[in-house]
Chains A and B, each alone.
Chain A
Amino acid sequence: MKFIRIAGLYIFIASVVVFSATVFMGTYTLSEASIKGSFGGKDVRVTETFAAVAKENGVLDKTYNSQFTFMNDVVGLFHKHNKRVSEAVAEETGISTSETDKIIVAASKSGKVAYTKEVLQSVLPEAKVKMLDGATNWMYSPGKTYDSVDAFKNDLTNKINEINRSQAGNYLLYDNKYSRFDITERAATGIISDNKVLFLFLTFGLGIIGSLMFIIAGLFLKPIPGIKNNGIYLNNATNRGWVGIAAFGFLVAFYVLLYFHPYIIANWTNIVDPLKGFFIEGASASQWFLYGILYCVSMIVMGIRMFIKYRHNQYQVVRTASVLFFQIIFAFLLVEILPLFDLPGVDLKNAWPLDYNFLTDWNVKNYLAAGHLGKFMFFWGIILSIIIVPTLVYFYGKRWYCSWVCGCGGLAETLGDPYRQLSDKRLIAWRIERWTIYPTLIFAIIMTVVVGYNTYNIINDPANIGNSTFLGINAYKINEWYGFLIGSIFAGVIGTGFYPILGNRSWCRFGCPLAAYMGIVQRFKSRFRITTNGGQCISCGNCSTYCEQGIDVRSYAQKGQNIVRSSCVGCGICSAVCPRGVLKLENGPDDGATRHEIPEVILGNDVNLFEMLEENK
C-alpha cells in the first residue's frame, strides 16, 4: 500500500510535468484551413484577405516552433489585414482618402469654409452623399461656422473615419486575447494535435490515476476513521514550504495565462478537444471548456479525498456530495448542454452579484432571444438573487450556498481543503476583511446599476447603443474594470492561485460580493449559529486553526458564546476537529440574545454566582 501511494505520487507528478511540457511542444502553422477554422464565423472576405496578407508576408504555411514567434508575426498580420480591409471598404462603400480630399477642396473657398450638401453632390455618387450628409449636416446647420479650414477638416475626417470604421467593422480583426487564442489554437500542429487522445491520457488520465492511487492507498494505510490532520504543519506542501510555494507559482501562472494570455496554452485546449467532441462533434474546446474540465476533475478527485478523510462525519460527506453535484450538473454539464437546445449556456445556480455579468446587454439579449424558456431563465436569475438567496440564508445560514452549492466554494472545499489552516486568524485580518469585502459589494452594486441602466436603454430602444453612460460612468468601461480587477485578479489569481499562501477561502472571505450580501443577512436575521457546548471548551485552538474563513472560533467557544459571524460559511470543520464535542452548527429559532449572548459565567461554575450576576444586572 505504501508502494502504491508513492507510485501514485510519482505518476501524478509525471502528469503535471507532461501537462506543463505540452505548452512548449508541437508547432504552429497558419494554413488556409486553420484560418477558416479560426474565423469561420466571419465574412468570407475576412478569411480571404487574411490569407492573402499572410501569403504576401510569407507567413502562410510557414511552420513555427513556438507560439511566441508565431504570435509575433500574426500580430503584424492583424494590422496589415485591418489596413487593407479598411482601405478596400472605404473605396467601395465608405469615403476614400481621395474623396475626402476632394470634399475639402470643394468646401473651402479662399480660406473660408462653405460646406453644404451641394458640395458633396459635386464630388460623390448619390448613395455616398446620402450617407455622409446624414452624419455631417450639423456641420452646415445655422449657427455653425468654422473659423478655419483646419477645424472643418478635423471634424470631417473624424466623421468619415467613424463611418469607414463602422463599414469595415465586420471585417476587422482586433488584436486581443480572443483572436490571438482562436488563431493559435487552430494553427497548432504537430505531435499534440496529432495525438490528442494520447496526451489527454498522459495529462488528465495519469493525473487522475496517480492522485487516486495516492488518496485511496491512504484509506488502507490509516483504516480507522477519525480526524487525520497529522503532520500538516510539518509538511512542506501545507505549511507554506517549497512544495506549497511551487504549487502557488503553478496556480498563479495558470490563472494569468488562462485569463490574459490564453493563446499560450492553446495546446491544453487542444488536448481536451476529444471531450468537447462529446457535446458537439468535431468542435474545438475553448479555454473555458478546459477550465471547466480542470475544475470538475480537481473537485471530483479531491472530493473523493474529502469523502475518505471525513468518512466518519456525515455532515462533511453530504456537503461534499452536494458541491460536487452542483459543480458537475449545473456549472459544467448544463452550461454545455443548454446551448444545444438554443438556450443560453449559463450556470443556473450562479447568483448575482457573484455572477457580475447578469445584467450586461449581451447576457440579457441572450436570454430574451431564447424564447419563453430563455425569459424564464432570466426571471429565475432575478428570483434567485433577491428572494431565494436571502430566504435560505435566513433558514440555514449562508452555508447553503457557500459550502453546499457554490463553485468557488466547492473548489475551496475540495482542492483547497489541504490549505484551510493557512487563513489568517488575527484581529487585523478581520479588520482588513471588512474593508475589502463590503467595498467590493458596493462596487458590484454600482457597476450593476450602471450596466443595468444601459441594458434597459438598449433593450427598450436598440438605437440607444451609443449612449452608455450613467451617473457619469461608462457601462462598458466599469464592467470591464470590474471583470478585470474583481472577476479575474481577485477571484481567480488571488482567490485560487494563493490557496497555498493565504488559505483556500481568501476570495470568499475578502472579496466575494455575494458572500458579503449573504453575510449581512446571516449576521442580523438568520436562524443559523454555531452553538457552543456549555463549558466544555479547552481552548486548544483546533477550531480556529482549521477555520478557512479565519474566524477565531475559539475566542467565542472559550467564553461559552455561540458563534454568529457574517463570514462563517458553515463548512462544519470546526465542529469536526473539536476534540471535546464543543461546537455544533444549528438552525434554531432566532430570538436575538439566545443566538449569540455572552454568558457572564461559563456553565459549570457556581449556580449562585449566576444568580448574583443576574441580581447585579
Chain B
Amino acid sequence: MEHIVIIGNGISGVTAARHIRKLSDKRITIISAETEYFFSRTALMYVYMGHMKIEHTQPYENWFWRKNRIELKKGFVKQVKDASKELVFASGETMKYDKLIIATGSKPNKFGWPGQDLDGVMGMYHKQDLENLEKYAPNNKVCKRAVIVGGGLIGIELAEMLQSRDIPVTFLVRETSFWNGVLPAGESAMINEHIKEHHIDLRLGVNLQEIKADEHGKVKSIIIKETGEEIECTVVGLTAGVSPNIDFLKDSNIELGRGVKVNRRLETNVKDIYAIGDCAEQHEAIGNRRPIEAVWYTGRMMGETLAQTICGNPRDYNPGHWFNSAKFLDIEYQTYGWVFGERGRPAYEQHFHWKHPDKHICITVAFHKETKEFLGINTFGIRMRHHAFDKWLNEKRSVEYVLEHLADANFDPEFYKLHEKTIVAQFNQENNTNIQLKKKSWKRIFSY
C-alpha cells in the first residue's frame, strides 16, 4: 500500500489527509513537532483570551484519526533523503515514504533586530508562542507593558489578546496607517481610530531600533528608530509577517526560493514530493495572488487539490475568486474579489466608498473605470454572502448589477439594520446613476 507522509498537521496537511482518505485507501501519516493533534491556529488567540480551551480549537475529536486510519507521529523532521525516500527525525528515527507532502507552514519574521532572541520576545504563531506568552504575560502585574512590532493581522490579534488581560500595549506600525498596504485609505483610517478607541497606544510610521535587556537577559525596553524614544516593557511581540518554515530542507535536493518552489500541480522539482499551504511558493503568481499565500483558505484549497492529484485525478491548483476575512478587535472584515489599497492599485480600478456616519461600518466596492465591471468588495461591520459575490464575479457582472442586488448578499443576523438603501443612494448621487435596489429574493439566493 502506498504510504503518503505529510509533514505538518495544520489546515493544509490535514485537509490533504482527509481528502486522500475520502478518495483512497492509501496509508497516511501526519508528522508534527508542534502538537499531537490538529488544532485551529487562527483560534490560538481565543485560548489566551479565555474564550476557549485548547481542546476547543481542535476541529476533530481525538478518536477521529484512528477511525479514519490517519496515523499521527509527533517528531521533528530534520532531513529529507529523497533518493532513498526517507525522512530522518531529530531523534535519529527514520521513516520511509512513497509520496511526501510538505505542509510545514510559516514562522514569524525576525529582521535581525538587536535583542530579538531575548527572553520575553516572541511571535504569535505556534502553540509554543502561546505558552511563552502565558509565561511572560499572565497578567498586568507580571507584564507591565507589551510592545508589538508589526501592523498586520497577527499584530492586531496579539494586541487584542494582551488587552483582554488589561495589559497596556504599544503597537509599532511601520506604515503610516494600519495595514494600508492592503486596505484603502478610508478603511485603514477607521481601523486606526478603532485601535485607539481601545486604548492601544498605536504608533504609526515607526520602526524598531533595538530591544534592550535587563541584567537577567530579559526584555527591559525597546527603542524606536525614528524618535529614539525608549519604551519600558516586559514583553515584545514580533508580528512583522511570516515566512515559510523550511529550514530543514536546506540540504535536500528540493528547489527552494523563499518557500518550497512548486508548479501548478503543487509538485516540487523532486518526483513524489509536493508542497502545500504557507510554505509553498508558486513559480509564477496566479492572477493577482502572491506566489506565497499564507492564508487559511488557500492552505485548505491546496490540500483539497493535491488530494485529487495524489489519488489519480491530476489537477492544477486553480483557486477561484479571492476571498478573505479577519476581525480587527470588534470590527469584522470580509473581502471578495480584489480591492487594492493605495499601493499596487491598477489604474483602471475605481472605488466607491460608503461609511456609516457614526458606527464602524463601511464598504468599498472596486470596479473597472471604463467597463464598470465589478472587481471586488471590502466590507467592515457588515457580513456579506460569499456565494453571491463568487457568482457575480464569475459572471463578470457590472457594479450597477451588484448594487441593484446588494440586498441578496446581506448576511447580517436577523433584525439588523440594513444599509443597502443608503449605499445605493450614495452611489447614485456620486455616479449620476439611477440604480433601483431590488428586494431580497430567495430564488436568486439559491441560484448563487
Contacts and interface: CB of A to CB of B under 8 A. Distances in A.
Contact of A558 (B46, B50, B59): B59
B33 interface: no
Interface string B384-424: 11110010001000000000000000011111110000000
B290 interface: no
Interface in A596-613: 601-609, 612
Contacts of A230: 49-51, 164-165
B75 to A, nearest CB: 24
Given A230-B49, A231-B49, A426-B61, A585 B414 contact: yes
A314 interface: yes
Interface stretch (A5-13, A261-269, A364-372, A531-539): A531-539
A190 interface: no
A232 B390 CA distance: 37
A17 interface: no
B86 to A, nearest CB: 32
A588 interface: yes
Contacts of B385: 533-534
A72 B326 CA distance: 67
Interface string B277-319: 0000000000000000000110011001100100001011111
Residue with the greatest number of chain A CB neighbours at <10 A, chosen from B61, B300, B414: B414
Given A229-B51, A539-B11, A612 B446 contact: no
Nearest to B390: A603
B305 A606 contact: yes
A226 interface: yes
Given A230-B164, A233-B53, A594-B446, A581 B394 contact: no
A540 B446 contact: no
A527 to B, nearest CB: 10
Given A315-B413, A584-B383, A604-B323, A539 B42 contact: yes
A231 B50 contact: yes
Interface string B315-343: 11111110101110110101000000000
Contacts of B258: none
A580 B332 contact: yes
A542 interface: yes
A231 B52 CA distance: 9
A52 to B, nearest CB: 65
Given A226-B330, A604-B390, A538 B417 contact: no
A233 B50 CA distance: 5
Interface in B430-448: 442, 445-446
The size class of the interface chain B forms with chain A is 35 or more
Nearest to A316: B413
A268 B370 CA distance: 77
A304 B251 CA distance: 63
Contact of B413 (A538, A540, A576, A591): A576
A234 interface: yes
A608 B308 CA distance: 12
A555 interface: yes
Nearest to A428: B61
Contacts, number: 173
A602 B50 contact: no
Interface string A223-263: 01111011111110000000000000000000000000000
A417 to B, nearest CB: 14
Interface string A302-333: 00000000001111011000000000000000
A575 interface: yes
Contacts of B383: 533, 581, 584
A235 B50 contact: yes
B79 interface: no
A572 B413 CA distance: 8
Contacts of A536: 297, 323, 325, 334, 386
A540 B46 contact: yes
A554 B442 contact: no
Given A229-B51, A539-B59, A604-B320, A314 B40 contact: no
A34 interface: no
B411 A584 contact: yes
B256 interface: no
Residue with the greatest number of chain A CB neighbours at <10 A, chosen from B53, B56, B313, B319: B56
Nearest to A579: B327
Given A572-B413, A575-B413, A606 B318 contact: yes
Contacts of A232: 50-51
Nearest to B139: A234
Given A314-B417, A539-B59, A580-B327, A603 B320 contact: yes
A554 B415 CA distance: 24
Contact of B394 (A224, A544, A607): A607
Contact of B387 (A318, A577, A603): A603
A579 B332 contact: yes
Contact of A605 (B198, B319, B329, B417): B319
A589 interface: yes
A591 B305 CA distance: 30
A426 B164 CA distance: 28
Contacts of B445: 588
A545 interface: yes
Nearest to B385: A533
A594 B448 CA distance: 11
Contacts of B130: none
24 contacts: A226-B330, A227-B330, A230-B51, A233-B50, A314-B417, A315-B414, A315-B416, A317-B415, A427-B61, A535-B386, A538-B43, A538-B325, A539-B43, A539-B59, A541-B43, A542-B52, A554-B59, A572-B413, A577-B51, A580-B327, A584-B383, A584-B412, A589-B442, A606-B301
Q: Which 9 residue pairs of A and B lie closest in terms of their CB atoms, listed nearest first?
A: A534-B386, A226-B330, A581-B383, A540-B43, A314-B415, A234-B50, A231-B50, A606-B318, A230-B164
Given A541-B58, A601-B304, 8 more contacts: A224-B197, A231-B50, A315-B416, A534-B385, A535-B300, A541-B52, A603-B386, A607-B320
Interface of B: 11, 40, 42-43, 46-47, 49-53, 56-59, 61, 164-165, 197-198, 296-297, 300-301, 304-305, 308, 313, 315-321, 323, 325-327, 329-330, 332, 334, 383-387, 390, 394, 411-417, 442, 445-446
